[in-house]
Amino acid sequence: MPEFEPDAGRLTFKLVYYGPAQGGKTTNLMQLHAQAGTQMKGELMTLETQHDRTLFFDLLPLGFRTASGLTVRFRLFTVPGQAAHDGTRKAVLSRADGVVFVADSQRSQATNNGESFQNLADNLGRVGLDIARLPLVVQFNKRDLADILPEDEIRRRYASAPWPLYFAAAIDGRGVGETFSALLRLVWRRYADEYDLGGRHGLDEAAFVAAGGGA
């Protein structure tokens, strides 16, 4: 559930980038930090790394103010991908309002992707979130590398899954915005009615996505 503070006129969505270690979650946030044209954009906060690996999380705050006076904030978190940090991963995932699963397209990483997705499903259950109702987008990253699974094969594998599928090369910024926009669209569809974003705050899906920093 997004955090709504009526007194401060503030609605905050927690969005989490999940996925196997070194799949490009932090790179996604760095690119969004550079690309996103939101009204409000904070610094990318990186909380401790070790050999380029996230130890705790990264945090990118984005936001905009509606004409009605509501401040809509998006706090984008990454989780540490390494298996050992499951406790941290679970804590970061708790209270999430949307998830981007960043998979690694390299053939050698197929098992890691599977394990990480299973871990996401397990942890969602543990923190009391319903994977069937949570806005969730799957991104296959690292399309720029050689020896990757071809797109049509991935599409075939995910054909029966309900989640939108995106391809990205986060290192060049390719696909990062599209993925984020897709998540914003799902977030809109899931929560717009509940917080009357269309009626009271004069937003629609396209406006919401554009103001949130999507394409």
**Binding-site ranges for another protein (CB under 8 A):** 3, 12, 14, 40-43, 45, 47-48, 56-57, 59, 61-63, 71, 73, 75, 77, 87-88, 90-92, 94-95
Query: Which residue lies nearer to another protein by CB, 91 or 192?
Result: 91
Query: Which residue lies nearer to another protein by CB, 57 or 166?
Result: 57
* C-beta pairs of 87-90 under 8 Å, 24+ apart in sequence: 88/55, 88/56, 88/57, 89/18, 89/119, 89/123, 90/123, 90/126, 90/127
Query: Which residue lies nearer to another protein by CB, 73 or 185?
Result: 73
Question: Quick one: 194 exposed, middle or buried, by C-beta within 10 A (0-12, 13-18, 19+)?
Answer: exposed
Question: Do 109 and 23 contact (CB within 8 A), yes or no?
Answer: yes
Counting runs of H as helices and runs of E as strands, what totals does the chain give? 6, 9
In the complex, least distance from residue 93 CB atom to another protein, rounded to whole angstroms: 11
- Give CA–CA dist 65/71, Å, rounded: 4
In the complex, least distance from residue 127 CB atom to another protein, rounded to whole angstroms: 9
Query: Which residue lies nearer to another protein by CB, 95 or 174?
Result: 95
In the complex, least distance from residue 115 CB atom to another protein, rounded to whole angstroms: 19
In the complex, least distance from residue 85 CB atom to another protein, rounded to whole angstroms: 8
